[in-house]
């Protein structure tokens, strides 16, 4: 078999990490004695594939800049194939090839199951482009996943797309409408992952709690997954407050394998701004939801997303966001300055000056960091269960994650990746906790 080398650079969310894995698997065996193996460097690659994200500021320009770095490689190695996949590919389409003629293929996030055919076309010297939203389920057209041993954690996409049309967001335009994978297909892939060593699965979706591929929704799927022997932990991300139903709240309280960590973006604390964002909920409704979740699982750690400097946001609106943050007490959060996305409603509105955005972001991040450190420091003296993933920097040290997604490192010469163990936390650092193993 003629083996070539594939370099994939992944931008953005966990869904793109999952997609990159599936892309690499689809190119591993192209038939006719051809296939690609993943390499960690573009310098010796036969194909470079950028799996892109369109959420962050100037996402498209960053991709064009990255492509510019490969001009020398392409000139020195004319047979090198360069592709752009993901959400920027979906949004830009033929414009990518027009601006960077060295690009050989462009494929959107709903069409990457066609990569083998697109690669064959590129191999004939033709430009290959597919940014359609096909009706067929791409996951059913992907090749069966290889049976190789896996690490103890894995992502599993169960839902794609979004129907919410928040005024700042391009996801409905780049990923399409909400689509859920049938439960039996998700279960099949989950069992396969567990057979290969996975002990924790994170269910992924642009709006994962809108999942409807199971009669019981996401809660029903989680409960069915929890019955798989060998699967010890379940997580899910990213959620919308409007789709957090009572069944899913109850699952947080009584499903032992569902971890006590929830990422639930709110974006702002001002009802005026939430309405302008088209979030379709109020700050009071969000806080009421948090109250019900914590009643079901008192030790639940919460994470969120925040946008500051949204068009027309005043200082009073921003202070409402600060008050909401103080009320919730987040264990972690992601916060950003608003940046325009062409084609979205918010891009056409009066913009907040950059200096004000910068000032508000610094104040919000200072508060979020204070909360994160306080909750992390409060873990000292507590016992947690850690799923170990990899060796640490010191000999005999292992690093893993607690139920609450804290990174934990211990001196544990007898522990290996995939082991679960009780740990008592002894100290808290800037980004991790240190603990000691407890007798089993």
Q: What is the pLDDT of residues 47-103, one digit of tens each?
A: 999 999 877 667 788 889 999 999 999 999 999 999 999 888 888 889 999 999 999
Using the 3D structure, point to which of 211, 236, 259 is the last residue of a domain: 259
Domain membership of residue 36 (yes or no) is yes
Do 114 and 153 belong together in one domain?
A: no
CATH number, domain with residue 396: 2.40.50.140
Per-residue pLDDT, 33? 73
Per-residue pLDDT, 360? 98
Per-residue pLDDT, 324? 98
pTM of the model: 0.84
Do 223 and 253 belong together in one domain?
A: yes
298: tokens are 């008192």
Give the least confident one: 127-141, 191-205, 263-277: 127-141
Task: State the pLDDT confidence band at 29, using cuts at 50, 70 and 90.
Answer: confident
Do 72 and 119 belong together in one domain?
A: yes
Using the 3D structure, point to which of 220, 242, 259 is the last residue of a domain: 259
53 annotated as belonging to a binding site for a ligand: yes
Domain membership of residue 361 (yes or no) is no
Do 174 and 236 belong together in one domain?
A: yes
Domain membership of residue 360 (yes or no) is no
How far apart CA 51 and CA 54 sit, in angstroms, is: 10
Residue 51 near residue 21 (C-beta atoms within 8 A): no
Using the 3D structure, point to which of 95, 130, 165 is the last residue of a domain: 130
Between residues 148 and 378, the one the model is more confident about = 378
Do 58 and 165 belong together in one domain?
A: no
Instruction: List pLDDT tens digits, range 383-425.
Output: 999 999 999 888 889 999 999 999 999 998 889 999 999 999 9
Per-residue pLDDT, 91? 83
Residue 187 near residue 194 (C-beta atoms within 8 A): no
Do 102 and 154 belong together in one domain?
A: no
Domain membership of residue 64 (yes or no) is yes
Residue 372 near residue 333 (C-beta atoms within 8 A): yes
* Domain range for 12: 2-130
Per-residue pLDDT, 132? 80
Do 157 and 122 belong together in one domain?
A: no
How far apart CA 122 and CA 132 sit, in angstroms, is: 18
169 annotated as belonging to a binding site for a ligand: yes
Per-residue pLDDT, 135? 60
Do 111 and 231 belong together in one domain?
A: no
Residue of 333, 241, 258, 334 whose CA lies nearest to 299 = 258
Do 173 and 121 belong together in one domain?
A: no
166 annotated as belonging to a binding site for a ligand: yes
CATH number, domain with residue 73: 3.40.50.12160
Domain membership of residue 7 (yes or no) is yes
Per-residue pLDDT, 137? 63
Q: Is the pLDDT of residue 144 over 70?
A: no
Domain membership of residue 329 (yes or no) is no
Task: State the pLDDT confidence band at 143, using cuts at 50, 70 and 90.
Answer: low
CATH number, domain with residue 204: 3.30.750.210
Q: Is the pLDDT of residue 349 over 70?
A: yes
Do 63 and 91 belong together in one domain?
A: yes
Share of the chain above pLDDT 70, in %: 96
Per-residue pLDDT, 332? 95
Domain membership of residue 425 (yes or no) is yes
Number of domains forming the structure of the chain: 3
- Mean predicted confidence (pLDDT) in 348-367: 96
Q: What secondary structure, in 3-state letters, does the chain show?
A: CEEEEEEEEECCCHHHHHHHHHHHHHCCCCECCEEEEECCCHHHCCEEEEEECCCCCCHHHHHHHHHHCCHHHHHHCCCCEEEEEEHHHHHHCHHHHHHCCCCCEEECCCCHHHHHHHHHHHHCCCCEEECCCCCCCHHHHCCCCCCCCCCCEEEEECEECCCCCCCCCCHHHHCCCCEECCHHHHHHHHHHHHHCCCCEEEEECCCHHHCCCCCCHHHHHHHHHCCCCCCCEEEEECCCHHHCCHHHHHHHHHCCCECCEEECCCECCCHHHHHHHCCCCCHHHHHHHHHHHHHHCCCCEEEEEEEECCCCCCHHHHHHHHHHHHHHCCCEEEEEECCCCCCCHHHHCCCCCHHHHHHHHHHHHHHHHHHHHHHHHCCCCCEEEEEEEEECCCCCEEEEECCCCCEEEEECCCCCCCCEEEEEEEEECCCCEEEEECCC
Per-residue pLDDT, 113? 85
255 annotated as belonging to a binding site for a ligand: no
């Amino acid at each position: 078999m003629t083996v070539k080398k594939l370099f994939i650079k992944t931008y953005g969310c966990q869904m793109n990490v999952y997609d990159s894995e599936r892309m690499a698997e689809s190119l591993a065996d192209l038939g006719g004695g051809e296939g690609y193996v993943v390499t960690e460097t573009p310098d010796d690659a036969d194909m470079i594939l950028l799996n892109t994200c369109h959420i962050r500021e100037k996402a498209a320009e960053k991709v064009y800049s990255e492509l510019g770095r490969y001009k020398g490689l392409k000139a020195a190695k004319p047979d090198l194939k360069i592709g752009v996949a993901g959400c920027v590919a979906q949004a830009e389409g033929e414009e990518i090839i027009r601006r960077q003629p060295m690009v050989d293929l462009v494929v959107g996030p709903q069409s990457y199951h066609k990569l083998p055919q697109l690669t064959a076309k590129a191999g004939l010297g033709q430009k290959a482009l597919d940014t359609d939203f096909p009706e067929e389920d791409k996951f059913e057209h992907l090749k069966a996943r290889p049976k190789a041993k896996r690490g103890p954690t894995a992502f599993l996409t169960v839902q794609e797309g979004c129907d919410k049309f928040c005024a700042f967001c391009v996801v409905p335009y780049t990923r399409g409408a909400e689509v859920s994978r049938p439960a039996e297909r998700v279960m099949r892939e989950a069992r396969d992952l567990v057979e290969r060593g996975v002990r924790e699965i994170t269910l992924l979706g642009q709006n994962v709690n809108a999942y409807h591929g199971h009669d019981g929704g996401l809660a029903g799927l989680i409960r069915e997954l929890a019955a798989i022997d060998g699967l010890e932990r379940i997580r899910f991300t990213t959620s919308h407050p409007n789709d957090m139903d009572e069944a899913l709240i109850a699952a947080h309280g009584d499903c032992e394998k569902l971890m006590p960590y929830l990422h639930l973006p709110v974006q702002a604390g001002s009802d005026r701004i939430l309405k302008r964002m088209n979030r379709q909920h109020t700050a009071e409704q969000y806080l009421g939801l948090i109250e019900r979740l914590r009643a079901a699982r008192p030790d639940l750690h919460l994470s969120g997303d925040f946008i500051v400097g949204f068009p027309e946001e005043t200082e009073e609106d921003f202070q409402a966001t600060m008050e909401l943050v103080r009320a919730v007490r987040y264990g972690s959060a992601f916060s950003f300055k608003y940046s325009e996305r062409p084609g979205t409603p918010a891009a056409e509105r009066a913009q907040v000056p950059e200096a004000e955005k910068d000032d508000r972001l610094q104040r919000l991040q200072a508060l979020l960091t204070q909360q994160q450190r306080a909750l992390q420091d409060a873990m000292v003296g507590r016992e947690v269960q850690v799923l170990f993933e990899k060796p640490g920097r010191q000999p005999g040290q292992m690093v893993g994650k607690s139920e609450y997604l804290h990174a934990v490192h211990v001196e544990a010469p007898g522990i290996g990746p995939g082991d679960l163990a009780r740990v008592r936390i002894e100290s808290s650092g800037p980004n991790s906790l240190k603990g000691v193993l407890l007798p089993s």
